[in-house]
Structure 1
Amino acid sequence: MTVPKPNPTLSSVDGSPARRSAILQAAFAVLMERGYSGASTLEIATRAKVSKRELYAEFGSKAGILRSLIAATSARMQVPLQTAEIPDRGALAAALTRYGISVLSELTTPAVIAINRLAVAEAGRSSDIGDVLETAGREPNRRAMADLFTRAQAGGLLGNGNPDAMGGQFYSLLTGDLLLRLMLGVARPPTSAEIKRRAETAADAVLVLNAP
């Protein structure tokens, strides 16, 4: 999750990207310091140098701010799937590898790890953060993967399994217990070479498991 850097000199311009960036940057900082339940829109607005009215006009609610933070990351992850052409299994493997690299490159950043830690810490106190992670983050990626596998099946590149299950297989093969270990602080983020190797291995394995 890339948290935009604010530009205070532009943050008061109605509807400006700089104002949104300032609010998102401030929100991330407040969430990390206070937790979701303890974060107030007043403090976020104050740090972003905007009014609460401007904050609500941009995002609607505290949950709306969080949704925007997570949705931006989710959208970046899906780009390789949205542009993928898969005339054969080699192209499918390449698309899955690119997607795997995109997923791990985003999910292993300090900001995303911090948000996931926050979601665990807030479980039972507030359902907002878990719900937003699911609906704005994980669910769009599940749908995008299922769509890719459905198209691959239609082209005769995969067997007749459940596309959602195939997506789950790929994700499990890709991440293993890495994300949990990162959240616990007992693993270091993977290098670019390690991410590429994981993505290639997961892509090859899911194609073998679901051969036509």
Structure 2
Amino acid sequence: MSGIGLDSAGEEMTGRRGAVLDAVLALLVERGAAALTMAAVARRASCSKETLYKWFGDRDGLLSATVRWQASRVRAGAYDRQRLDAGSLRESLEGFAADWLNVIASETSVALNRVAIGQAGTLGGAVLANGRFAIGERLKPLLLDARSAGLIAFDDAEDAFRAFFGLVVRDVQIRRLLGDDFTLDAGADARRAVDQFLALYGATKTPARTG
């Protein structure tokens, strides 16, 4: 996230909006959806309600923007598609999976998902579009490049992504939503998920992880 006070007005605006969305997440965690009003957010973010309405439209727009902001924390790993090999594929997949686990298991994501469950027709759609579906579109280019490089084999990218989704997420999200405060080792879980994914889809020249 860009900081306030940089040369570009666009970067400053991004920083200010990000601070507002972080304030929304903090309020959801601390006080729940019932306390999330435009006035409460304005106080927490030290801005005016008029600014919130100008930027986000209404409370639903603010919540949808918050979903997108939280989902943006899951990033596809940077890689050189011309030099993609077994090691860089594994590294990218493990980094993506670890980021994903840390985000979905966080208190902020749990709070957002609980609100979305109660507003399945509005916010629930935003969570699907900017969560599971958007994340799939971020990962599929890596899967397709890896297939082109002969590192993995599959017929349909969506099917491959769904398998990866299941191996990474497992029951983590539902347990968090139901209040199970278990210890998550995102790095170890990510490595296990990638091991299992490559066992299912890895081409013969993709070596097993060592160590």
TM-score scaled to structure 1, two decimals?
A: 0.76
The offset of 1:133, in angstroms, is 0.6
Following the alignment from structure 1 to structure 2, what is the Cα–Cα distance between the partners of residues 90 and 51?
Answer: 50
The offset of 1:43, in angstroms, is 4.3
Q: 1:45 to 1:101 in 2, by over 3 A?
A: same
Note if 1:57 corresponds to 2:54: yes
Q: Deviations over 1:56-88 (max 9, x none)?
A: 2222332332233222232221142xx123522
Match of 2:124 in 1: 130
Q: Kindly indicate whether the alpha-carbon contact (under 8 Å) linking 2:76 and 2:138 is maintained by their aligned counterparts in 1.
A: no
Q: Deviations over 1:169-191 (max 9, x none)?
A: 1111112112111111124241x
> Which residue, out of 90, 95, 99, partners 2:96?
99
* Pairs within 5 Å for 1:110-189: 110-120=107-117, 122-123=118-119, 127-189=121-183
Match of 2:193 in 1: 202
Following the alignment from structure 1 to structure 2, what is the Cα–Cα distance between the partners of residues 201 and 41?
Answer: 42
Following the alignment from structure 1 to structure 2, what is the Cα–Cα distance between the partners of residues 133 and 54?
Answer: 24
Q: Deviations over 1:130-189 (max 9, x none)?
A: 011112222210111112111111111111321111111111111211211111112424
Note if 1:84 corresponds to 2:79: yes
Following the alignment from structure 2 to structure 1, what is the Cα–Cα distance between the partners of residues 72 and 45?
Answer: 24
* Pairs within 5 Å for 1:66-77: 66-77=63-74
Following the alignment from structure 2 to structure 1, what is the Cα–Cα distance between the partners of residues 112 and 19?
Answer: 18
Gaps of 5+ in 1: 3-14
Gaps of 5+ in 2: 2-11, 204-211
Following the alignment from structure 2 to structure 1, what is the Cα–Cα distance between the partners of residues 114 and 91?
Answer: 31
Q: CA RMSD in A?
A: 2.6
The offset of 1:17, in angstroms, is 5.4
Alignment length, in residue pairs?
Answer: 190
Q: 1:165 to 1:43 in 2, by over 3 A?
A: same
Q: 1:184 to 1:156 in 2, by over 3 A?
A: same
Following the alignment from structure 1 to structure 2, what is the Cα–Cα distance between the partners of residues 161 and 171?
Answer: 17
Identity among equivalent positions (%) equals 24
Q: Kindly indicate whether the alpha-carbon contact (under 8 Å) linking 1:89 and 1:157 is maintained by their aligned counterparts in 2.
A: yes
Match of 1:6 in 2: none
The offset of 1:99, in angstroms, is 0.7
